[in-house]
Chains A and B, each alone.
Chain A
């Protein structure tokens, strides 16, 4: 079991998400940076789908009640385990009674703490991911607070086989990347040519209220083609007849909002493109007031980027695979 001594700003239990329920308005939730989540799991011998703690901007303080193995991946957070500095992207042994204390993230926004065996909260619709809006998944459907106790699953490997293994530098992402690739489309016919162009040339900055639902970006106002609004859409030029929003899609009430893992699943604002799956995790690591640029790519480039990311993750998994006698 692990015991939360301080929850930080927003720490939730997340896995790879809750799928197959988007049509009832249920977003996938799940880790905002799936790469860092997966690597943290691999380091401690878990499958990619095991639940980790996603810590946002500020790390949690945690007491371990039994010996185990943990790993931190994602945004860099300084931390100490009983006063000893702990590395990122490496499997670390913990003993019963030891306390981990983490500081603020210094690059990126989200850090994942994996525990060998996985965080073992009760799954809801086959996922342990927390979705706070309706209060399901994770621990009581909410962000973690001091005093919460979380069960840990049975570890599949001996401690000795795991501790000290680290991800090589080539596979540690840089969270300095400010360019996010998008496939334009959906309802981008609503934008003027100038605005469509500007979407991919302007410097956008992450708004203070960017969260797991959406990343609101500040920059120039988008302009819409004038038209007689179709029946049912509502009179504002940004309105469309309410439709489904892809995860990663960019909607433009006027300035863009990119929908993230706790997305609203549909609504009546024009969507003008979609951040490609390979880059959603990088966007999730952009901090308030940092800049973001959109680069337009086609679907084939998006598929290549996805395959590359999958390959990188497979390489990490292979390099960290535990030999079973």
Chain B
């Protein structure tokens, strides 16, 4: 089947841009691709290991990365030269990394996001449809169920964490022609429930806290991505759970399972179901669907 592999993409020349006197922004590509994201992760990982003096923040993003530094310690042009040297030494074709695959339960069409999306209908492209109905139709699916099957059918990689603490941007691990793409709301909402699962551009997001948002709303997860009190076992080392490179497998659950997982989260006994895997871009590109099945086998098998 022709569409079953992902052809590696040649990235354009990176753009190195000054963010005032204390940031460097590196755009690897204007469009999203696994190639750009893996490169952002690999180069920032190398920069972390280099531990350059004066560099205070190293932030990989979907198809770019951002650095912050103390110009008293390292000048911006000197830093750009260092980064270019690191980038030249970083080859992702043979790059592999250890990561986790995580079971991520989602109650699609839940009452809370439904209430919210109905409240903000006038902010939406299609006031007469729900966000799921709109997204399903836009992406050529016959029904909302088929659309949800596609969203849960293959796992998603965390390609960036940010906006607010703990919010993962997730990019589904399928060839381009199978990717879901939807616009954000015409006017952002002033309210989104915490733990809402939404979609904008080519990304799924999980909202850690209640607040503004512009992504299409699909469901709600009973689990947390942010635990500021660090009471749950998975948050012992960081108040934020997702890391770039993590693989989340969204799994459709019913209300009964939602309530029981939520109870475990609230009494502090919840732990994510995860497995450690060695991720190989090369093997993934060659046969994404086969590779995804192997990943799921490690998690659930």
Contacts and interface: CB of A to CB of B under 8 A. Distances in A.
A230 B30 contact: yes
Nearest to A264: B163
Interface in B132-167: 160-167
Contacts of A23: 57-60, 161-162, 244
B258 interface: no
B165 A25 contact: yes
A236 B184 contact: yes
Contacts of A22: 57, 59, 66, 68, 162
Given A25-B161, A232-B203, A183 B21 contact: yes
A268 interface: yes
A244 B72 contact: no
Contacts of A241: 29-32, 62-64, 201-202
A163 B76 CA distance: 41
A195 interface: no
Nearest to B171: A232
A248 B20 contact: yes
A257 to B, nearest CB: 12
A7 B226 CA distance: 29
Contact of B169 (A235, A242, A306): A242
B254 to A, nearest CB: 30
A220 interface: no
Contacts of B209: 133-134
A20 interface: yes
B23 A274 contact: yes
A22 B56 CA distance: 9
Given A232-B203, A243-B61, A187 B27 contact: yes
A185 B30 contact: no
A248 B18 CA distance: 12
Contacts of B247: none
B183 A236 contact: yes
Contact of A303 (B68, B76, B184, B238): B76
B31 A231 contact: yes
A171 interface: no
B274 to A, nearest CB: 18
A275 interface: yes
A75 interface: no
A300 to B, nearest CB: 9
Interface string A264-294: 1111100100111110000000000000000
Nearest to B23: A246
B115 to A, nearest CB: 22
Interface string B208-247: 1101000000000000001010000000001010001000
B200 interface: yes
Contacts of A19: 56-57
B30 A246 contact: no
Interface residues of B, number: 58
Most buried by A among B33, B161, B162, B238: B162
B59 A276 contact: no
Contacts, number: 187
B200 A268 contact: yes
Interface in A140-190: 141, 182-183, 185-187
Interface in A107-152: 133-136, 141
Contacts of A248: 19-20, 23
Given A24-B240, A243-B62, A134 B19 contact: no
Nearest to A276: B20
Contacts of A275: 20
Interface residues of A, number: 53
B176 to A, nearest CB: 7
Given A22-B68, A23-B162, A243-B25, A183 B228 contact: no
Nearest to B16: A185
B173 to A, nearest CB: 14
A34 to B, nearest CB: 12
Nearest to A185: B17
B22 interface: yes
Contacts of B75: 303
Nearest to A266: B162
Nearest to A181: B20
Given A23-B60, A266-B163, A277 B19 contact: no
A233 interface: yes
Interface string A219-243: 0000000000011111110011111
A232 B61 contact: no
Contact of A265 (B162, B226, B244): B162
Given A24-B161, A230-B31, A234-B201, A268 B61 contact: no
Q: Which 10 A-B pairs have the closest CB atoms?
A: A232-B32, A244-B66, A246-B19, A230-B31, A274-B20, A266-B162, A246-B23, A302-B21, A232-B202, A265-B162
23 contacts: A20-B56, A26-B240, A133-B211, A185-B17, A232-B31, A232-B171, A233-B31, A234-B184, A234-B200, A239-B184, A240-B30, A241-B62, A242-B162, A242-B163, A242-B201, A244-B64, A246-B66, A247-B23, A267-B162, A271-B19, A274-B23, A302-B18, A302-B20
Given A235-B183, A244-B59, A265-B59, 20 more contacts: A22-B57, A23-B161, A185-B19, A185-B25, A231-B31, A231-B179, A232-B201, A232-B203, A234-B183, A236-B183, A241-B32, A243-B63, A266-B61, A268-B200, A276-B20, A277-B20, A303-B71, A303-B75, A305-B21, A306-B22
Interface of A: 19-26, 133-136, 141, 182-183, 185-187, 230-236, 239-249, 264-268, 271, 274-278, 299, 302-303, 305-306, 310
